[in-house]
Amino acid sequence: MVKKGSYSIKGEKMAQELPHMNLVVIGHVDHGKSTLVGRLLFEHGEIPQHIIDEYKKESEEKGKATFEFAWVMDRFKEERERGVTIDLTHRKFETDKYYFTIIDAPGHRDFVKNMITGTSQADAAVLVVSAREGEGVMAQTKEHAFLARTLGVSQIIVAINKMDATQPPYNEARFNEVKDQVTKLLAPIGFKDVPIIPISGYKGDNILKTGSNLTWWKGTTLMESLNALKIPPKPTDKPLRIPVEDVYSITGIGTVPVGRVETGVIKINDKVIFMPANKSGEVKSIEMHHTTMPKAEPGDNIGFNVRGIGKNDLKRGDVCGPQTNPPTVVKSFTAQIVVLQHPSVIAAGYKPVFHVHTAQVACRIDELIKTINPKDGTTLKDKPDFIKAGDIAVVKVVPDRPLVLEKVSEFAQLGRFAIRDMGMTVAAGQCIDLEKATV
């Protein structure tokens, strides 16, 4: 029940029988992410033809021809009129091997904070890169790939999209050119053995089957690549942690926080606490995609009703944990960061916004402890005066307001973050030590 769905989906067996994976679709704005997801769901029989026909007619009337598949995911009026994805959209679909929750993340730079939330929830990513002349690897392609790696996505599939729009259409040479650009981008940041496949999201080539337009392609289809993904190990042995993405008040049920289980297991009747809100309650029901379940495990995007908590007690960025082991609220923390881009230099006193799980909190970089050599991890300089783009540094950070953060060595999912300022991601990093706040 992560978001309100409007189509009946085949079969309710999936949650119980098939392994579950969260898949985020990322890439530069206008490279065809939403269209690809819409086409994937349509080809797979999740969306009836008459709905696509309806969207096609409506999109043409609005001067947005070819957007019919994108509209499967872009539900909001503003998104349709602007033709860009603003918020995260969750949809489920099954292959014969996995039960996927697809997170369609925005590519437009104004909405990167939503993309960060989506990517931090993902087990794997599809990076969409347009093959159209003049496109290929672009600014957000680089930013999204780096963020995916920093936020803990270890598996990635690259879909070289818009093969129908190359000159001539389905041009193998152009595919190889963009493939080289992508390989040069991904290898240095640690993505190895990445499937890079040609597709047309709009026409449907190489989604479920290769088709007659890509006779030169001897590799896998997108669906085969998805089925080849590996299920990440589930940290069920760790204490429960669920960052809250949203909070609903549902008539007849009560307060329903929504989020992804990162670690541990949540069961009905569990006594939980939300930090830094410091509100406790008892779990009365758990749902995923409108299906009630007795418990939820890492990777599950759930809504759960908690007795004893009001809607206004909680907000996005709070984290749910067991009352016996509450999520850690930090007074300050030590972080290792990589400066991705910054127009000048970063010195002590700098205060950007840290995006940690679903929280966004302004934090002051209090002290620059040292810079690190990326090749071997040795110290380059103690207490530097400033750091700049390309530097790796250890810094001490003080949040402006209460923030839940965990050491990356203990809860990797809650120890990673992105740092944003001036409408861009200036750095990314992880918490290596922390000082607890007294709550």
pLDDT at 140: 77
Q: pLDDT: is 101 or 262 the higher one? A: 262
Residue 154 and residue 45 in one domain = yes
pLDDT in tens, 314-343: 999 999 999 999 999 999 999 988 787 788
Distances (CA, A) of 217 to 36, 40, 135, 181, 197: 19, 19, 21, 19, 9
Q: Do 98 and 18 contact (CB within 8 A), yes or no?
A: yes
pLDDT at 206: 96
Q: pLDDT: is 352 or 252 the higher one? A: 352
Closest CA to 369 of 339, 401, 392, 353: 392
pLDDT in tens, 92-101: 778 888 888 7
Residue 49 and residue 109 in one domain = yes
Residue 411 and residue 310 in one domain = no
Domain contains 334: yes
pLDDT at 101: 79
Cα of first residue to Cα of last residue in the chain, in angstroms, is 32
- pTM of structure: 0.63
Closest CA to 342 of 420, 430, 429, 431: 420
Residue 314 and residue 428 in one domain = no
Domain contains 8: no
Q: What percent of the chain has pLDDT over 90?
A: 47
Domain contains 3: no
For the segment 103-117, the average pLDDT, to the nearest whole number, is: 55
Give the number of domains in the chain: 3
pLDDT at 64: 66
Distances (CA, A) of 313 to 166, 247, 280, 439: 53, 10, 10, 16
Distances (CA, A) of 83 to 59, 102, 107, 117, 279: 10, 20, 11, 21, 40
Give the 3-state secondary structure of residue 3: coil
DSSP state of 384: -
Closest CA to 58 of 77, 45, 44: 77
Residue 95 and residue 177 in one domain = yes
CATH number (domain holding residue 387): 2.40.30.10
Residue 265 and residue 363 in one domain = no
Domain end, chosen from 322, 354, 384, is at 322
Print the domain residue range for 348: 329-436
Lowest average pLDDT, out of 117-126, 200-209, 298-307, 362-371, goes to 117-126
Task: Give 127: exposed, middle or buried? Use CB within 10 Å, 0-12, 13-18, 19+.
Answer: buried
CATH number (domain holding residue 141): 3.40.50.300
pLDDT at 1: 34
HSE on the CB side for 333, CA within 13 Å?
29
Residue 281 and residue 388 in one domain = no
pLDDT at 402: 96
Distance CA 128, CA 164 (A): 15
pLDDT at 190: 79
pLDDT at 243: 95
User: What is the chain's percent helix, strand, coil content, to nearest 5?
Assistant: 25, 35, 45
Residue 182 and residue 39 in one domain = yes
